Structure 1
Amino acid sequence: MRTTQHALDLDLAAGKPSLASRTAGVIGVLTAVWRLYRSRCQIARLHDLDDRQLLDMGLKREDLHEAMTSSFFENPGSFLTRASRNRANHFYRGVRHD
C-alpha cells in the first residue's frame, strides 16, 4: 500500500463525532453565549452609577458605551478591564486624563 492509501484509511476510521462529543460542543457554545449575555446585562447596570462612582472604578461613560456597542461575541468585560487598567497606569505615571 502507498502512503496516500494509508491516509485515506485513517480518515475513514475516524468517522463521525459521537453524540456525546457533539452535545458537549453545543453545550459549550451555548454556555459561552449565555456568559456574554450576562456580562452585557451587568455592564448595562453600570449605567445606573454616577460619573464619580465610575471614575472610582477607573471607568468613564465613554468606556461603557464602547463596550456595549462592540460586537456581541466580543467580551465587553475584558474591554472595560483594559480601559480601567490603562487609566490607572496613566494616573500613577502622573498623566491624568479626566
Structure 2
Amino acid sequence: MRTTQHVLDLDLVAGKQSYAPRTVGVVAMLTSVWRQLRNRYAISRLNDMDDRQLLDMGLKREDVREAITSPFFDNPASYLTRASRNRASLFYKGTRHD
C-alpha cells in the first residue's frame, strides 16, 4: 500500500506545467523559427549580388546555394562562415582557388 501512495504522490508533484513555462517555450520556438526564416531570406538576397561582390566577402555562388538548400533548422550562416574562412586560409597560405 505504501508503494501505491508514493506513486500517486509523485504523479501529483509532476503534474501539468503551469501556463507561464508553456508560454515561454512556445514563444522561444516561434522566435527560433522566425530567426531561421529571416536568416534564410537574408542569405537568399546574396543571390542578387554578382560573383565579384561575393568573392569580396570570400564566398562563391555555390556556397550561397549550399547554405540555402541546407536543412531548415541548421544555421545557414554557419555554411557561409565556414566557406569564407576556408577560402581566406587558402588565400593566406598562397594557394588561392578562385
Return the TM-score normalized by structure 1: 0.87
Q: Structure 1 CA distance, aligned partners of 2:7 and 2:31?
A: 36
Matches within 5 A, 1:17-96: 17-96=17-96
Deviation readout 1:17-65 (Å, 9 max, x if unpaired)? 1111001000000000000000011011111111111001000000000
Q: Structure 2 CA distance, aligned partners of 1:33 and 1:83?
A: 24
What's 2:97 paired with?
A: 97
What SS does structure 1 have at the residue aligned with 2:17?
A: coil
Q: Structure 2 CA distance, aligned partners of 1:18 and 1:58?
A: 49
Structure 2, unmatched stretches of 5+, are: none
Q: Structure 2 CA distance, aligned partners of 1:10 and 1:90?
A: 59
**Aligned residues between the structures:** 97
Return the TM-score normalized by structure 2: 0.87
What RMSD over aligned residues (CA atoms) do the two structures have, in Å? 1.8
Change (3 A) 1:8 1:89: farther
Amino acid corresponding to residue 41 of structure 1 in structure 2:
Y
Q: Structure 1 CA distance, aligned partners of 2:72 and 2:7?
A: 40
What SS does structure 2 have at the residue aligned with 1:73?
A: coil
